[in-house]
Amino acid sequence: MAKDLYLAGEWRQGRGPVAQSIFPADGTVNAEFSTASVDDVNEAIEQADLAWRSSAWCESLPHQRAQVLYKVADIITERAEALSQLQTRDNGKPHAETMALVMSAAATARYVAAACETMDGELTSQRAADFMTMSVYEPVGVVAAITPWNSPIASEVQKLAPALAGGNAVILKPAQETSLIALELARIFEEAGLPKGLLSVLPGSGSVVGDAIVNHPLVRKISFTGGTTTGRRLAHIAAERLITTSLELGGKSPTIVLADADLDLAVKGVVYGIFSSAGQACIAGSRLFVAEEIYQEFMDKLVAATKGLRIGHPEKPGMHLGSLINEKHLNSVDGYVQLAKSEGGTVVCGGERMVEGEHAQGCFYLPTIITGLNNTARVCQEEIFGPVLVVMPFADEAALLAEANDSIYGLAAGIWTENYRKAMQLARALEVGTVWINTYKKFSISTPFGGFKESGIGREKGRLGILSYMQQKSIYLGLNETPNTWCD
């Protein structure tokens, strides 16, 4: 397991403080690793700038870049078990979930490789007799990729693969909690044949290492996934520097259950939508609106299904929820539950830390359902990023839509109904980047993903995801010797 940082193709001791990876399920130390200093950051970025300008990578044929990405996908697949275990140790998610993230990372690398081979420029303005024009796409240069801890390998490959396919160099700063998996990715890209200098993985804190990266004059794009507060801060820096950003930020996603929904299917979808990843997902369906006519029947089924979830050691097979990422985050989640109570909410299940037996040493929190509040409550407006669902009945569909949209966030939404015409009307009216109808948290790598409102700017995935790491250039080619008009 890599413990040094990866600086422009070299493994070396970082000059920043030593950090620890801690297994949140029992508090044991997985490993110590070195972090980057500001000098390391500067060196990596200078090397990255040299590498994308001078290495053959940027000028190579798309299928040559694709070969490296196919190899990355193959290595990730071969090492899936070890990578999954490493992520589980880093962030406490159950093995089945981290395995899904690993397979998603491999699929992303494969998709981007195939898309990269088939990307075209365009000939434009075909009608002009004396010149022709073309539209071509070029790398932006050095890209800063900054990621959170909740789905590390998937969100990191989602940035590295398209940025590298586009001919850029990347400086990746992973979340401190999940640095080990990011370092393993560096090892994989190196083994797959990525030329030296194009990738650096620099663990360290956001306030020192992240800040030094995004403020460096040679960085030309910030690709960030994380909280809205940090995203806003990075957007200010990018605006000042006039560089582009992709910002994948927080959410407070509404799920709507209409009276004609298949209730058993909807219950399963709602439970998965909020409680998988122990609610530590940007797209967690954390606000639930249920039609008044079916409210009690639905709640009975929902509470029963929630109480049936298995919460435990994430390395043990069959667990639905593992531990939260750390003590500080658990206290924040619990603080929101206490706040809901003080605002008049009723905790109908969960609402506390698990402290007995195998749960005693880790950061385990019971899946929690709160009722009795309306959409203006703070727990309905602020992202909790934990296993906490607030449920509200609704009578009037027009008022429901206004409430569902009453949020600073606009990442995702879920709709459960057998009436597809109504579902489509709601889907078009919801102010969010992704809508799931009669399903939730399904992902396709070819389908763009991103947020409305304060959930983000830009889109990842799909062919647009590669183009977002490139800049468009127009080229005019004169076809005859006619002088320009002014010279006549």
The catalytic residue positions are 248
Alpha carbon distance 217, 212 (integer Å): 10
Nearer to ligand NAP, 303 or 464 (CB): 464
Closer residue to ligand NAP, CB minimum distance, 71 or 159: 159
Q: How far is CA 399 from CA 203, 285, 396, 403, 406, in A?
A: 47, 19, 5, 6, 10
CB of 214 to ligand NAP, least distance (A): 5
Complex with ligand NAP: residue 34 or 225, whichever CB lies closer: 225
CA distance 221 to 240: 13
Query: Cβ 252 to ligand NAP, closest distance in Å?
Result: 9
Q: Locate tokens 């206290």: which residue? A: 331
Nearest distance from C-beta of residue 259 to ligand NAP, angstroms: 31
Task: Give the nearer residue to ligand NAP in terms of CB position, either 55 or 332.
Answer: 332
The residue number with the shortest CB distance to ligand NAP is 206
Nearer to ligand NAP (CB atom), residue 219 or residue 423: 219
* Smallest distance, ligand NAP to C-beta of residue 450, A: 7
Contact by Cβ (8 Å): 460, 449: yes
Q: Round to whole Å and give the CA distance between 302 and 391.
A: 10
Contacts to ligand NAP by CB under 6 A: 146-151, 173, 175-176, 205-207, 210-211, 214, 225-227, 230, 233, 248-251, 282, 383, 385, 411, 451, 456
Residue 161 amino acid letter = A
CB 449 within 8 A of CB 434: yes
For ligand NAP, the closer CB: 206 or 312: 206
| Number of other residues whose CB lies within 10 A of the CB of residue 3 | 17
- State the nearest-atom distance from the C-beta of 156 to ligand NAP, in Å: 11
Scan for tokens 């639930």, then name that residue: 288
Beta strands per DSSP E along 23-165: 29-34, 122-124, 131-139, 142-146
* Token pair for 123: 């000939």
- DSSP labels for 239-280? HHHT-EEEEE-----EEEE-TTS-HHHHHHHHHHHHHGGGG-
Per-residue CA distances from 103 to 99, 152, 281, 314 (Å): 6, 12, 18, 18
Q: How far is the CB of 151 from ligand NAP (least distance, A)?
A: 6
CB of 210 to ligand NAP, least distance (A): 2
Task: Give residue 94's region: left, alpha or beta (phi > 0; psi -120 to 50).
Answer: beta
Nearest to 362 by CA among 24, 16, 3: 24
**Closest to ligand NAP by CB, 23 or 57:** 23
Pairing of strands 287-291, 388-394: parallel
Q: Where are the beta strands (DSSP E) in 157-197?
A: 169-173
In whole angstroms, the minimum distance from the beta carbon of 38 to ligand NAP comes to 13
For residue 283, give the nearest of 412, 125, 98, 424 by alpha carbon. Answer: 412
Helix (H) or strand (E) holding 403: helix 397-405
Query: What are the residues whose beta carbons fall under 8 Å from the beta carbon of 82, sequence distance 6 or more?
Result: none
Which of residues 115 and 201 has its CB atom nearest to ligand NAP in the complex? 201
Contact assessment for residue 460 and residue 158, using Cβ atoms and an 8 Å cutoff? yes
